[in-house]
Structure 1
């Protein structure tokens, strides 16, 4: 996990032409997306082809609900306080279309969680102000250089804070609802993927999907709130 300093980030939604500024406190963020090997070790569930690369491909085809449950499972295994409290949630989360999505986030918990959209974008930018933190082919797997397939994590150049694959390779779930007034329980995805054209692999781009969606270019990156001491 990388310690990400606090700061301020301005988010933009191209659909509505709306921008808003968020203050971000310091937090911890994984250096790369969750790998298939790590997912298998935690859940004892092997659903993907990972033997040929030692499990270094990103874990994919995970819904937002899968990601939330994974965070809680890993937290429990490591003796941390789970970040999420699930309320009357079925295995596939199909009932979670209400305003709260059937879940609450304990922001005091030190367990694993998904980053907020503001945390994700703040980390991706790493102090830069342009659309990307470096030349796209150097930092990301995208449609133009991926041979239309997923790649092992941390094989492109990281940003200046040591974070790999923030752009390209795989979209990453964030905690936030995309626009609950219009899209209900749809959650935010960030980063772009291995099949996306170059214009989708930009720091500010935000995508939305239903929290039950499982597709081969979506995964997650773990975050944590640092422990506080009296």
Structure 2
């Protein structure tokens, strides 16, 4: 991925039994164009997208050489990390409506969210999380040599994730959302006055989404998208997963967004949720949040090394809140007030 709108390509050539009469180039599979005998070309003004540039030589007898090619993705950096999308409340059917995921993804049941909320347009990136680490003196999580920048942060525990949320709240002068590890009532959510609550609608600061909020947004919120994945029935269009990831994470925002304009809710990294693990029932629920202490916290969305069922919007994951891995990251959320 490059951020400059002009690129210069250079090459060398020779002919063992003749001379090179000219070089030709083509852009994005278009028409071959003569470059004379010059061995460089500057391409300017391309659009934000994936591009290819190819060169071939023609000798004095008219024969062509094999093609040399370059490929790159041009982005202006218009991905605004930290940007949030408004998700208006509504009612939806939660759970595995196709009946082919694990049992704990069923039964399907009706969920109503009576409030609007903001959800991160993108997964939290290394750039964002590294700023938190530098400001607080925490150790930066390992990137496994894949790169940092706008790749989704990984190797963060649930406790790390909520500490990041509280830091964001403090930066913006908002009441913090959580009691942190080692504090009294650790892991509990807090209302605007700093008191422990089990009512997610009373939490003002930045936090992790509940898994109901997460699935509602992944399904397109009030638009009720019918897709198996967040934004499409074609997993390759919207998700980095086992078959296309190259065994690593990728920069945020490269796949298609869902109807709400939210990216990477399917694949790339699993995303921590606020809830403790709980089993579904058929009973309709309003503004659900699982505050009952369990061994595991919820995560959603699948990741780069799961197969095509992992990124399904109805799929559920869970992990020890102290656990970390190259498959675990986060996305931020907060109430609309």
What is the TM-score with the length of structure 2 in the denominator?
Answer: 0.60
Tell me the distance in 2 between the aligned counterparts of 1:38 and 1:50: 17
Question: 2:257 maps to which residue?
Answer: 158
1:83 positional shift: 1.2
Would you say the 8 A contact 2:124–2:152 is kept in 1? yes
Would you say the 8 A contact 1:36–1:48 is kept in 2? no
Given the alignment, which residue of 23, 26, 29 partners 2:119?
Answer: 29
CA-based RMSD of the aligned residues comes to: 2.6
Q: In 2 relative to 1, CA 156–59 (structure 1 residues): closer, same or farther, beyond 3 Å?
A: same
Query: What is the SS of the residue equivalent to 1:3?
Result: strand
Q: In 2 relative to 1, CA 105–23 (structure 1 residues): closer, same or farther, beyond 3 Å?
A: farther
2:233 is the counterpart of 1:129: no
Would you say the 8 A contact 2:120–2:262 is kept in 1? yes
Cα displacement string for residues 109-149 of structure 1 (whole angstroms, at most 9, x for unaligned residues): 42110001111001111021231221211111011001111
2:150 is the counterpart of 1:70: no
Question: 1:18 maps to which residue?
Answer: 107
Would you say the 8 A contact 1:75–1:81 is kept in 2? yes
Q: In 2 relative to 1, CA 207–140 (structure 1 residues): closer, same or farther, beyond 3 Å?
A: same
2:333 is the counterpart of 1:214: no
Give unpaired runs (5+ residues) of structure 1: none
Tell me the distance in 1 between the aligned counterparts of 2:320 and 2:173: 30
Tell me the distance in 2 between the aligned counterparts of 1:196 and 1:50: 18
1:8 positional shift: 1.3
Larger Rg: 2
Question: 2:311 maps to which residue?
Answer: 201
Given the alignment, which residue of 161, 168, 171 partners 2:270?
Answer: 171
1:199 positional shift: 1.4
Would you say the 8 A contact 2:176–2:190 is kept in 1? no
What is the TM-score with the length of structure 1 in the denominator?
Answer: 0.86
Q: In 2 relative to 1, CA 46–184 (structure 1 residues): closer, same or farther, beyond 3 Å?
A: closer
Between the two structures, name the one with larger relative contact order (CA 8 Å, sep ≥ 6): 1
Give unpaired runs (5+ residues) of structure 2: 1-83, 97-101, 192-199, 280-291
Cα displacement string for residues 163-211 of structure 1 (whole angstroms, at most 9, x for unaligned residues): 000000000011111128x992311111000001011110000011111
Would you say the 8 A contact 2:141–2:154 is kept in 1? no
Q: How many residues align?
A: 218
Tell me the distance in 2 between the aligned counterparts of 1:211 and 1:50: 21
Tell me the distance in 1 between the aligned counterparts of 2:145 and 2:294: 38
Tell me the distance in 2 between the aligned counterparts of 1:5 and 1:224: 12
Given the alignment, which residue of 166, 182, 203 partners 1:90?
Answer: 182
Q: Which has the higher helix share?
A: 1
1:22 positional shift: 1.6
